[in-house]
Amino acid sequence: MMINTTQVSYFTLSAYFDTGVFKYLYFVIIMSLYILIISANLLLIVIICMNRSLHEPMYIFLCSLFVNELYGSTGLFPMLLVQILSDIHTVSVPFCFLQIFSVYSYGSVEFLNLAIMSYDRYLAICYPLQYNTRMTSAKVAILIGVTWLFPFLTIVILVSLSAPLQLCGNIIDKVYCGNYSVVKLACSDTRLHNIYGLICTVISIIIPLTLILYTYMKILKVCFSGSKQTRQKAVSTCTPHLASLLNFSFGCCFQILQSRFDMSSVPNMLDILLSLYFLTCQPLFTPVLYGLKMSKIRNVCKRLLCEV
């Protein structure tokens, strides 16, 4: 019998398994991680906003990145905490699509934000004398606007295509809602969704990664032909960015592989941890990495601690 979305009132998240009394331990661990993510990102957002010396394009883009980490983790952790304590792992259809929107838009904003940060570093290192005229306040505002509005628009269309699908089941084999997991349940034709999903992948991942690759090729060229001071500047500003990019790309690649291929040979707990990697480690890894590696942020933090 064909079931459509008007008849399906909830989805069952089948990746959860009975952990007995250990669920309270997992709850405390996840809650502590969430509090740590919120605290670290909020602290750096406040530091950047409150200190005029940090009101530069690089730190404004960083602030946007920290805001996105808060947004992405909030799209996952509250529901994850509820599901850990619950004996029945179900989620309503509207909330499931809301989570799909938040998780997917988070990933898209992350890649675009990392791309404009690489472009900013490219201008600062390759065109230092023209940097202030090329990276104006108006341009920064436009880049930030595109970074947030464009992913939101593309994911709204993605969710709008998936929501009316006729479904033959309501079991999602993950610990949170994913668009492809819902599409796999469809009884109706999904060619349009597959084509649009491919377009979204190209726009959200391939194009930003291509821009990042291009800018770093140019930066490396300048570093090899430039002075020792230029190389030191490039290393100090680009290392955190590259580390953050590699960390997030690893998580996203595994997420794509997990969605598209059979992962039954992977132990259940490891499969869950890796599926959550880009939504848990990146929001924690990013503020810690930039807080430790960016000298201006580090100095402001030291000054604040000394005052306290």
Listed in sequence order, the DSSP H helices in the chain are 22-50, 57-85, 93-126, 131-134, 137-162, 179-183, 191-201, 207-225, 228-260, 268-275, 277-293, 295-307
CB hemisphere CA count around 245 (13 angstroms): 21
What per-residue confidence (pLDDT) applies to 136?
92
Q: pLDDT under 50 in the chain at which residues?
A: 1-6
| Spatial distance between the Cα atoms of 49 and 45, rounded to a whole number of angstroms | 6
> Maximum distance among all alpha carbons in the chain?
71
Instruction: Give φ, ψ of 116 to 5 degrees.
Output: -70, -25
- Measured between alpha carbons, how far is residue 154 from residues 205, 238, 245, 279 in Å? 13, 29, 22, 20
| Spatial distance between the Cα atoms of 251 and 239, rounded to a whole number of angstroms | 19
**Residue 162 φ/ψ region, left for φ over 0, alpha for ψ in the -120 to 50 degree band, beta for the rest:** alpha
What per-residue confidence (pLDDT) applies to 2?
41
Token representation of residue 68: 């996105």
Token representation of residue 115: 């791309």
By C-alpha distance, which of 88, 66, 141 is closest to 297?
A: 66
Name the pairing type of β-strands 10-13 and 166-167: unpaired
Residues in the chain: 308
| Spatial distance between the Cα atoms of 275 and 255, rounded to a whole number of angstroms | 6
Q: Measure CA of the first residue to CA of the last residue in the chain; give whole Å.
A: 66
Domain ranges within the chain, ordered by starting residue? 3-307
| Spatial distance between the Cα atoms of 102 and 305, rounded to a whole number of angstroms | 34
Superfamily of domain 3-307: Rhodopsin 7-helix transmembrane proteins (1.20.1070.10)
What per-residue confidence (pLDDT) applies to 4?
43
Token representation of residue 216: 């770093």
Residue reference for tokens 């500047």: 233
**Residue 43 φ/ψ region, left for φ over 0, alpha for ψ in the -120 to 50 degree band, beta for the rest:** alpha
Token representation of residue 281: 């480690």
